[in-house]
Structure 1
Amino acid sequence: MSKEEQQEKVVKKSEADVVANTTIADVYKAAQQLEGVARHTELVHSDFFSEISGCDVYMKPENLQHTGAFKLRGAYNKISQLSEEERKRGVITASAGNHAQGVAYAAQKLGVKAVICMPATTPILKVEGTKALGAEVVLFGDGFDDAYAHSLELQKKHGYVYVHPFNDLQVLLGQGTTALEIVQDLKDVDAILVPIGGGGFASGVALATKLAAPHVKVYGVEPENAACMQAAQQQGKIVTLSSADTVADGCAVKTAGTLTYEFCKKYLDGIITVSEMEIMGALLSLIEKHKLIAEGAGVLALAGLDKLPESLKGKKVVPIVSGGNIDISTISALIDKALIARGRVFAFAVQLPDKPGQLLKVAQILTDENANVIKLDHNQAMVTDSFKKVQLTVTCETHNEEHIQRIVKALEKNGFEISRVY
């Protein structure tokens, strides 16, 4: 056995011991620390998500938590238990946004200096929200892993106490208080869905659920493009993904935590992965049907509802909407993509003879097919092989893909050859 393998074995043993020795009393202690600090978010029943999933769905809206996400729970629990000497040193962390604001909020409440390393690609809303809470923000790198590496350098240089976003026992115990509220508010809950980034939230929720209500199933939900925990569970060891490119930027983690890996291995009933389009579709549905705003990572659990086992059909299921910190430009882009994916927006190009009445013919067909034109571009310069033709590009509001196909057939029936833009 190599030296690296021996070291890995020792780490796994020590962290497996932590998992074995963590009790429900530890989660209740965290809940006491959070009294008067974290908001007890009330469950919201969803007729819409119940109908499309076949389950009886109650959402846990942690997007309505202070700082807009569940992360406050773990950050406050960790910092509140630091010694006076540790508080004087200040704290540091790395985060794509929500943990950053949680640490900043907790540090401000407790009078502790906080330094936050964030990827340079972090949405401006999260950066400004963190600064507004009094933290020093350092932007570095293209993703969480770059920011994390830089934060370790700063910790070593300045002696700060590290508050890890997920791979920390006190952090994940704080996150686990979310599950205590769920089993308290819905005593006959059958299953809980929780998003996974590095695994801290899933670890805490699974731990608390299984120790407080062992019969309740707990499923983690990851983006297909950043499924680091699923990869680790499948290979039986921590692995690092080559990339983590996902609209769920709060879960864009390449490497799961060593401690969270052990907790998830012991307590999770399974891991579900969802596509980018499924994430954006869930976001659109949450906005349209419930008038609630969430970020990409925040709707992972909703996106995973359709992939639950058949045995949970008709059962009471709680997907946790984990966060709602998303800037306007990002949410606009995600909504546009979701509308296109659902066939709610249709764009096509067609070449027309450059003579009066042609545009009117296309417009009449669209009117007859009940399509609402939202954008029109009539451009003669786009056609280079003929001076007698113009290119028309039309964007319409449509009902679904079936509606789009009816429009295409009607246009073709009237002699128009179109090319679909999206």
Structure 2
Amino acid sequence: MITLNNIKEAKNKLQNIIQNTPLALAPILSKDLGAEVYLKKDNLQLTGSFKLRGAFNRLACLNEEIRNKGVVAASAGNHAQGLAFAASHFKCEATIFMPEATPLTKVSGVKSFGAKVVLIGENFDEAYEAAMKFTEENNKEFIHPFADDEVIAGQGTVALEIIEDIEDIEHIVVPIGGGGLISGIAIAAKAINPNIRITGVVASGARGMKESFESHMPIDSVAVKTIADGIAVRDVTPKLLDIILEHVDDIVEVTDNEIANAILFLLEKHKLVVEGAGAVATAAIMHKKVDVEGSKVCSIISGGNIDVTMLSLIIEKGLVKSYRKMNLIVTLMDKPGALMNLTNVLTKSSANIVQIDYDRNSIKLEFGEAHVTIAVETKGEEHQKLIRENLKQAGYRFKQI
């Protein structure tokens, strides 16, 4: 059984190791929602995630003789980096099993701390099975990313920091993958003040814990698929479910589109680089999945280790959705000056061309025609409407994509 004392002991072990990450008011969300919304920025932790807390505490509690034999873990990326950092600190060997689709930034982060990486399986659970087999065959210590008392106690230090900064916090919204973070936070927060509301957030593509919470029994997912790779956990651990049922008030879910919106919002409005798993709590608040009106609420930003390719895709789609970028396919006569005439129309519409592609070979075209795929920067919905009207008046056939 994990107690508040265990979490306070973990805080002592983490002293001078981890950063007490910033807790800051989110003014735009606060105004829009009629609440005091705060962001706990654990994406600014040393390894880019809260996972360092639990991993370091687990190794700090290990017998030195066992630790020196080497440790093993399975991870979607953030626990791996936390454990690799801790193993480097204690000068012991670490072997980390990660899903094959783990973003390069996370794999590189693990290797940079000197750990060995084995990429295997389509998701966390398949990597976990391989890691357990390796552990048994090589007589090493397995460090579970969430179903472990010392790991949970380490994660619970997040709650201690929040309450130290804001004594009268009323509501904490927490991402859920395996459940270690929310378990530690909920145990600590409820022990200090039972009236603090704890809400968990899962991704719609990995909703096993939500279904289990509602059914009061473990229900594993058949498969998981979400941009929030850090919480893409297929199977529900009964031990974690029991803690969550006892200490957590509610669990909600957010879609990948809502997660992407939150990532872009945090990047643009708060200058924070946040991964999918780290953005789900903010996504739930932004999209009103959680009732926060009139309360002091804290959103846990649990990690920032997002793959730059994914971030680029989210930015691109976000620009299109917010009417700041417009993609068009325009049909032209394939003759000299035709492209210049089109760009003149766009210039007069104050549309800045950022990308253009010319295709005269498509079998969908009549002879003597060409397709121009063109991307332009725009200044909102009304500006895009003006561009469409000007193209129509100039006699162009086009499609917005």
- Please indicate, yes or no, whether the TM-score normalized by the shorter chain is above 0.5: yes
The structure 1 residue matched to 2:251, chosen from 263, 271, 281, is: 271
CA deviations on 1:283-308 (whole Å, 9 max, x unpaired) are 11111122221211111111111344
Q: Could you say if the C-alpha distance between residues 409 and 137 of structure 1 is closer, same or farther in structure 2, counting changes exceeding 3 Å? A: same
TM-score by length of 2: 0.94
Map of 1:242 onto structure 2:
222
Q: Contact 1:295 / 1:325 at 8 angstroms: preserved in 2?
A: yes
Give 1:141 deviation, angstroms.
1.3
Note closer, same or farther for the CA distance 1:261–1:337 as it changes in structure 2 (3 Å cut): same
Q: 254, 262, 267: which one pairs with 2:242?
A: 262
Counting helix residues as a fraction of each chain, which structure ranks higher?
A: 1
TM-score, normalised by the number of residues in structure 1: 0.89
Q: What does residue 123 of structure 2 align with?
A: 143
Counterpart pick for 1:98 among 72, 75, 78 = 78
Is 1:383–1:391's contact at 8 Å kept on the other side of the alignment? no
Secondary structure (helix, strand or coil) at the match of 1:323 reads coil
CA contact (8 A) 1:383 1:390 kept: no
Once the two structures are superposed, the pairs formed by residues 74-113 of structure 1 within 5 Å of their partners are 74-113=54-93
Comparing 147-156 with 264-273, greater Cα deviation is found at: 264-273
How many residues are paired up?
401
- Compare 401-410 and 276-285 and name the one that shifted more: 401-410
Cα separation, 2, equivalents of 1:331 and 1:347:
19
Give me the whole-angstrom Cα distance separating, in 2, the residues matched to 1:264 and 1:399. Answer: 46
One of 141, 161, 186 as aligned partner of 1:181: 161
Residue 326 of structure 1 aligns with which residue? 306
Q: What residue is the counterpart of 1:346 in the other structure?
A: 326
Q: State whether structure 2 residue 280 is matched by structure 1 residue 280.
A: no
Deviates more, 1:368-377 or 1:401-410: 401-410
Looking at structure 2, the residues matched to 67 and 199 of structure 1 have their Cα atoms a distance apart, in angstroms, of 20
Q: Does the aligned pair in 2 maintain the 1:202–1:220 contact within 8 Å?
A: yes
- In the alignment, the residues of structure 1 paired with residue 172 and residue 83 of structure 2 have an alpha-carbon distance, to the nearest angstrom, of 26
* Deviation by residue 1:325-379 (Cα, 9 ceiling, x = unmatched): 1233332222223323333322111212334554345334434444322112232
The secondary structure found in structure 2 opposite 1:294 is coil
Q: Which letter does structure 2 place at the counterpart of 1:84?
A: E
Task: Tell me the distance in 2 between the aligned counterparts of 1:407 and 1:149.
Answer: 55
CA-atom RMSD in angstroms: 2.0
1:72 matched to 2:52: yes
Partner of 1:5: none
Change in CA separation of 1:254 and 1:349 when aligned onto 2, cut-off 3 Å: same
| Structure 1 residues 383 and 392, CA gap change in structure 2 (3 angstroms) | farther
- Cα distance, 1:68 vs structure 2: 1.0
Q: Distance in 2 between matches of 1:235 and 1:109?
A: 42
Runs of 5+ consecutive residues of structure 2 not aligned to the other structure: none
Q: Deviations over 1:383-418 (max 9, x none)?
A: 654222221211112344554344334433443332
Give the letter for the 2:12 counterpart. Q
Superposition map of 1:10-409 within 5 A: 18=1, 22-308=2-288, 312-355=292-335, 358-382=338-362, 384-401=364-381, 403-409=383-389
**Secondary structure of the structure 2 residue equivalent to 1:66:** coil
Helix, strand or coil for the counterpart of 2:156?
Answer: helix
Change (3 A) 1:418 1:264: same
Q: Mark the CA change 1:89 to 1:52 in structure 2 (over 3 Å): closer, same or farther.
A: same
Code of the residue aligned with 2:281 in structure 1: it is: A
- Matches of 2:131 and 2:310 in 1, distance apart? 26
1:134 maps to amino acid: G
Aligned residues of 1:369 and 1:406 also touching (Cα < 8 A): yes
Percent of aligned positions that are identical: 39
Structure 1: tracts of 5 or more residues without a match: 1-17
Give me the whole-angstrom Cα distance separating, in 2, the residues matched to 1:55 and 1:416.
49
Is the Cα contact below 8 Å between 1:277 and 1:341 reproduced in 2?
no
Letter in 2 for 1:175: Q
Whole-angstrom distance in 1 between the partners of 2:130 and 2:261:
35
Report the alpha carbon displacement of residue 46 of structure 1 after superposing the two structures with TM.
1.9
CA contact (8 A) 1:272 1:307 kept: no
**Secondary structure of the equivalent of 1:253?**
coil
Partners of 1:289 and 1:385 in 2: how far apart? 44
Distance of 2:356 and 2:291 partners within structure 1:
49
2:396 counterpart of 1:416:
yes
